[in-house]
Every structure is written in C-alpha cells, then in structure tokens.
Chain A
C-alpha cells in the first residue's frame, strides 16, 4: 500500500519534483564537457546511446580506427537506451549536450532545443563523405532536414532492410495438416482460424491452439505489429510516420484519418466476429510483451499459435518453429472485390534512419568532432560500426569487400553477437555505398524472403505521396498543440477499439464515438499534420527525390551456394 510508507512518500515527492520541475534553466554557452589536451591530441566527448548488450565502446577495436580517423582522443559516455529518455530530459533542458552524440536525439528535440546543436548542412565542406552521401542518396538529406537545417546525420541502410517491419504469418504446417488452402479473403481467414481452433492442427490431442494472437495494442495509439495492418485490404496506405498512432495516413499528398472511416468500422466488426468465434487469444488485449512473445514459441517442436504479426518467423517463433510459418499478403476484405490492396509501409525510415549522430553547437574541438561524424560515412568504419570490428564481426576481403561473420563464440546467437560488438542498426553511416560488396549470413536477409509476398501490395503505394514519412516533423508550437489533443484521441480510439472487439456494441456507439473524436479536435490535428507533410513534400520536390526509385536503388543481390548472400552496389 505504499501509503504509510516513506518510500511511497519519497516516490510521490519525487514524482512531484519531476512534475513540478522539469523546470528548466538553460545555461546557454555553459562549458562543454572538458576538452582538455592529452598528449597533444584534442579530446572529444562522445555520448552514445546503445543497446545494453553492447560492450564498453573503448573495448571495441573499431573505435580505435575512429580515433585514428579524427586524430583525436574520444572520451566515451555510454547510456543504455532504456535510461536515455530521462537522462535526456534533464541534460537537454539544462543545456548540457556532449560534443558528439550517437543515437540520442531526434526531430522531436529540434523544436525546443535547436540552439544546442550544430547545423551540419553548413559544415559539409569539411565532411566530404557525408556530403557525398547526401549527394548520391538525396533522400538521406531530405529525411535529415529540419526547417532547412541538418541537426542529425542518418544511417543509410538501403539494401539491408525491408519495406515494412510488420508482416503477417500463418502456420503453413497446420494448413497442410487440415488440407486447407492459404486464405485469401477475410471470410476464408475466419473459417481457417475456426478450423485451427477446433481441429487440433498441432496434433497433440489438446485444445491448446491459439488461432490468432497479437501484441496488445497500446493505449498511446496504433503501433507496430498491431492488427490494423488488415486495413491494407481496403487500399488504405498505412505508414508509420507522424500521427500514424492516431489513424493518420496520406493519400495523393492529402492527410486523412481512418479512425472515423467506415472501413475502420468494418475492420473492428470483423475482429469482433473473430473474438466471438473464440479464435483470438483471450489475453490479446491484456498480456504484456514477454507473455506474448513467449507464447509464440509454443512447446518445444509443437506450435501453439496459428497466426500473428511480426518481423520475421525466426524472431517470432524461434528457430525450432520458424519454418512452419509463411508470410501472408494483404487479404481481400470481400471476395468479389478486386480493389488494389496495400501493406503497412515504413520502408522509408527503415532504410534511411534519420538523426543517428549530432554535434553540439558549443563544441570546442569542432574540427575533430566533424571528422568523427564524417568517418562513419567511410565504408570501413561504417561497416564495422554496423556489424562489428574486423575479424570479430566482419572480415575484410579487400577494398570495400566485406563478409559478415558468424559468432566466434558458439553459445551466442547471431543477433546478440552483433549487438555486443557494434551499434548494429543504431549506427550512423552509409553501409552498402557505391563500390561496396557485402556478404551476409542467412539470418541477416531472412526478411527479404518474407517481403517477396508483399511486392504487389507495396507497389500499389506511391512512395512519393502516399506515405507519412518518418522524418515528417512539427515545429515546436505545432508539436505542443498536437500532443495536447493526441492523448485524448488515442485513448478514446484505442479503448473503444478494444471494447468493441471484446464486448461488441459498435453499431450503437459509433456516432457518439465520431463526435467524441471531433470534440478532441481531430480536424485540427489533420490540419497540423497536413502542414508538416506539405513542408516535407516540398523539400522532397526541391531536391528532386523520387523515392520509388531511391528506396530500392540498383543493388545486386546474389545468393551464394553456402547459404550466404552478397549485396553489391555497382553504382559510382
């Protein structure tokens, strides 16, 4: 009960402190963290926000190459990503920013704190490699721009990533067992799931099958791996950028919102039918992430979940069960319709991860700091930052020719190994840049096979006008106004969604719900998004970016006999 206890009291007081506080005094121009000379070389403080598995930066051999490249000594400050949000609050508001920060700040911070960061666009003259990246991959520049300035340089992952983080998987072994075809429509899916439930497809004699499970939708709005990907059946081009959580999407350059759309109502009703048929996990809205992800792994070699939404089969179901599952493209909402279908798309920010590295405005050793930033965009350092040091994570076969290695320690799985030795997908850089040949082990391109089934769905999206891009950002004032109404909208929408699916009543309550959302200024929210989106599209046009072409640049991808694959970029 905490009530009569000092700890709670302290917690309360601390809460009050944090709330009442976060009062801020900016010491603009306060001293940057100690730039002292040691053995004649400049010292640069680099704050890195990293996965908790990553070793101390100084222990990673590739950081020595980085120091050689900048001709400086790096003083590392390291924070696990889970602690960063709170640390960031305190230090930003106090104006305390390290010389260079990797993975710490994003477009949400530029609004209030742009004065603390250096506009890298003005410094491109001393960063030839970053300049070349921006020139040859112009979308990298577009996604990095904020109000005409560049406060963060990107991680360009083209060729290594996917078009979408979320895919729909169904247990093919169960389908075969029950002699069912792969479902293509919502109706077929429903009867398939019903068969999963009643016909013991895993053959263990127990009715332990959960036909459909998904990550519990969050109260803060639609997130990743949620069932709303089914909306692609109606041709709604869902994406992951600003406002996606509260139902925003873009079509032909116009921002729209599906929360009040009839197709959304149909989607909820359909899930309601599934719930009533008992084919959705009873815990789907209440289980936490760990219970969900453990459930997917079944019992040894016996699968218990028929269908879910996730990144790849092996990540979701574990190596023992992964090959039972296949990816399922967007289904037809209604068997008669041939309307174009789409799939949830966030390929822009998967391939061009914005704001991976920033420099403080008051940096003392500016030259050295810029060299650090630039070094990541050379292929040697970029690749090592992404996959691990030479001979630990990567083998260098020759000039710009690399092979990603399997873990030397056999007890480690490949992804642990990568996270321990590198910044992984948190690394700044351009990895498969012109001239680079990169050979990857099978796990690293598993997602390519998954994505093949979505080719047509993605092709139905015009990447130049149907996507809310990850880089779309608000001004400080817009952000303030937007976030004020957003909580009300997402909480109403998400709680109604959960309630209608599990308890019904959507027909009676729909009109009241629409009014409710409007009273939370939904229209104004759309306007705000539109303004931000228009600015972004304008920059895209100014820079002549055609994302349809640039997202999938001309890379060659060849599978090798030993199960690896080689990606090479033969452009100049």
Chain B
C-alpha cells in the first residue's frame, strides 16, 4: 500500500513517461535471449515463417498499388503490370497535384481531423471513465441509452433538417459536432479503464482525498496512454476518411475535405457509361482518365496518415509502469 501511495505522490504522469522503455533494450528481451529452450526456438521458427507469409501477403498488393500508380492505366487493367511499372509515367500524379482544390482539401482535412479528434477525446474519455465506475449506479441505463443509438437512428432527412436548423449546413463544425461522440469508442475506452487500471488505485486515491476529477486526471489518464492512442487514432482516421459529411452537408467547394475533392477528381464521369449522364459520348475517355489517377489518389490521400501509426506505437509499450506501481 505504501508503495502505491508513494508512487502516486512522487510520480505524476509527465515524470513517469520518459522512464518508459520505448526502445530496444527492454529487460524482457535480454532475459529471453539468455533463457532459450528448444521449444522457444521452435516457436521462433514457426513465428518467423508465419510473419514472413503475412508480410508477403500484405506487401504485394500494396506494392502493386504503388506500381500501378506509376503505370499506364491500360496495362494495369489488362493485367500486364505485376512487379514493375509498365509504361512508366507521372501523369496520374500530375493530374492530381495540378488541381488547386487538393491543397484546400488537405488544409481542411487536417483542420477537421485535429480539431475533431481533440473534441472527441474531451467528450469520450470522461464519459468512458464515469461509465467504468461500478459504484455509479445510473451507468447501466445510460449505457443502454447510448448503445441504443448505435442501432436506431432517425435517418438522413431528419438529420439534414437538424443540421440545417442548427446552422451547420455549409459550416465546418458539421464535420466536428455531430460525430463528437462515438459510443463504440467510448465502450472500448471504458472496457480498458475497467480491466487495465487496478481498482486498488482508486481506493488509495480515495484515501489520499482525491476526488473523481483528480483521480481521473492524475492517475487514470497517465496510465491510459495506450488506449488514448488507440481511440485517438480511431477518431482521427474516422475524420480523415469522412466522405459522407462533405457529400451531404457541404456545397461550398472551399470547405470540402480532401476525400471529397479526390472523389470528384476520381469519379470524373464514371457514371456516364451506363447511367446516361453523358449519353455514351466519350465515356471511354472519361474512364481512362479516372483509371489514370485511381491508384495515385490512394497514395496521395493516405501517405500523411500512414506515418501517424508508427508515431503512436511507442505509447503501446507501457506495461512496465503498471507493474512498478503494483509491485
């Protein structure tokens, strides 16, 4: 017990974080090397083979997308492109990047994603914490009411009218407010709080006179960097990929996020072939244009977000600290 309070008093969150072993020399790996058994070797070989297979199965199609984005779209569609670009060209990228709307789209998307995720976390984490407290008896009914909304919704039109009445049509806040709270993510966070934060900490904190606010801010949050990283990533990627909001609620090109801009460029008039948009005239041309940029678009739209995950990975290595607290 005294050990716990000691930690609590002495090591508030910011000071603890640097102590976390983020990098190679964790005690665990060291020890593993010393204590290898034949069984461990067998496990290692099987593991190595499995990981290699998985990586191959994932990397090849990814590589294909990269290669395809530099290739002649005709060669891609007819299956001539396998390992290296055929008819190498940058036309696709030139067409994407030549469009000024792309940069506005990027700026908007980054703004909506950063701001949106901040609001998301501010709303979700406290709610998840409150919902994780077993002694908080109304939580069951509240949880039920939350979960209910994951299934039943009024639909697009009442939503459209609501957004309109709130003055959110053609307004950047429509990207942030309606999606400010995801029940799914809250449940994930709550489940983490319930299972990964030792209940003894609450008792100790209570002895120290910490209120719920204090306990949440000083103990729970610092111990939850892994789940905050995960939830933050979920939300951020959700905002980044949000195509629906821009489609339905935004008519002002200046406010359109990247995904909608790219979709506009990409879809050119793909519908014209069958639907009669352009009555067959030059549908072949239009498709060629779309094919030219189809793969490049994926790269342009996801490259920035791909670096996000490696940045967050270091927050996943934090088991040691809980161990220290408990020990």
A residues touching B (Cβ–Cβ < 8 Å)?
6-7, 9-10, 13-14, 16-25, 27, 51-53, 56, 77-83, 86-87, 89-91, 93-94, 96, 161, 165-166, 215, 218, 223-225, 289-291, 293-297, 310-311, 315-316, 318, 350, 353, 413, 415-416, 419, 424-426
Asked if A78 contacts B285 (CB within 8 A), the reply is no
Whether a CB of chain A sits under 8 angstroms from the CB of B151 is: yes
Asked if A291 contacts B279 (CB within 8 A), the reply is no
Asked if A425 contacts B74 (CB within 8 A), the reply is no
How long is the Cα–Cα vector from A82 to B264 in the complex, in angstroms? 7
Asked if B251 contacts A294 (CB within 8 A), the reply is no
What residues of chain B lie closer than 8 Å to A96, measured between beta carbons? 160, 164
Asked if B282 contacts A82 (CB within 8 A), the reply is no
Asked if B73 contacts A294 (CB within 8 A), the reply is yes
Chain B interface extent, by class: 35 or more
* A82 and B271 in contact, given A293-B284, A353-B279, A424-B278 (Cβ under 8 angstroms): yes
* A51 and B160 in contact, given A6-B185, A20-B154 (Cβ under 8 angstroms): no
Whether a CB of chain A sits under 8 angstroms from the CB of B132 is: no
Least Cβ distance of B15 to chain A in Å? 33
Which of A82, A87, A290, A311 contacts B267 (CB under 8 A)? A82
What residues of chain A lie closer than 8 Å to B285, measured between beta carbons? 315, 413, 415-416
Contacts A/B (CB < 8 Å), 20 sampled: A6-B238, A17-B154, A17-B159, A18-B156, A20-B153, A21-B158, A25-B161, A51-B269, A52-B264, A77-B251, A81-B271, A83-B267, A86-B248, A91-B160, A96-B164, A225-B273, A294-B78, A295-B78, A353-B279, A416-B285
Least Cβ distance of A484 to chain B in Å? 20
Which of A16, A81, A93, A413 contacts B157 (CB under 8 A)? A93
Asked if B274 contacts A10 (CB within 8 A), the reply is no
Least Cβ distance of A344 to chain B in Å? 12
Asked if B263 contacts A16 (CB within 8 A), the reply is no
* B267-291 contact mask (Cβ, 8 Å, vs A): 1 or 0: 1111111101111111111111111
| Extra A-B contacts (17), CB below 8 Å, given A53-B289, A310-B280, A311-B281 | A6-B182, A23-B155, A51-B269, A56-B253, A83-B263, A90-B156, A90-B160, A165-B280, A215-B274, A218-B274, A290-B291, A293-B288, A294-B77, A294-B78, A315-B284, A425-B278, A425-B281
Which of A6, A86, A290 contacts B247 (CB under 8 A)? A86
Whether a CB of chain A sits under 8 angstroms from the CB of B241 is: yes
* A350 and B279 in contact, given A10-B238, A290-B287 (Cβ under 8 angstroms): yes
How long is the Cα–Cα vector from A353 to B279 in the complex, in angstroms? 10
Q: Which residue of A lies closest to B294 (CB)?
A: A290
* A51 and B268 in contact, given A7-B241, A25-B157, A293-B288 (Cβ under 8 angstroms): yes
Which residues of B from 53 to 92 have beta carbons under 8 Å from A?
A: 73-74, 76-78
Least Cβ distance of A414 to chain B in Å? 9
Whether a CB of chain A sits under 8 angstroms from the CB of B265 is: yes
What residues of chain B lie closer than 8 Å to A166, measured between beta carbons? 280
Asked if B155 contacts A22 (CB within 8 A), the reply is yes
How long is the Cα–Cα vector from A291 to B273 in the complex, in angstroms? 13
Asked if B164 contacts A81 (CB within 8 A), the reply is no
A-B contact count (CB 8 A): 183
Q: Which residue of A lies closest to B270 (CB)?
A: A82
What residues of chain B lie closer than 8 Å to A426, measured between beta carbons? 277-278
Whether a CB of chain A sits under 8 angstroms from the CB of B184 is: yes
Whether a CB of chain A sits under 8 angstroms from the CB of B234 is: yes
Going nearest first, the 10 A-B pairs with the smallest beta carbon separation are A21-B155, A82-B267, A294-B77, A415-B282, A23-B155, A165-B280, A17-B153, A24-B157, A315-B284, A311-B280
B residues touching A (Cβ–Cβ < 8 Å)?
73-74, 76-78, 150-161, 164, 182, 184-185, 188, 234, 237-238, 241, 244, 247-248, 251, 253, 260, 263-274, 276-291, 294
What residues of chain A lie closer than 8 Å to B294, measured between beta carbons? 290
* A310 and B159 in contact, given A13-B151, A51-B269, A353-B279 (Cβ under 8 angstroms): no
What residues of chain A lie closer than 8 Å to B289, measured between beta carbons? 53, 416
How long is the Cα–Cα vector from A89 to B248 in the complex, in angstroms? 9
Least Cβ distance of B176 to chain A in Å? 15
Which of B150, B260, B263, B283 contacts A315 (CB under 8 A)? B283
Asked if B268 contacts A52 (CB within 8 A), the reply is yes
Asked if A6 contacts B184 (CB within 8 A), the reply is yes
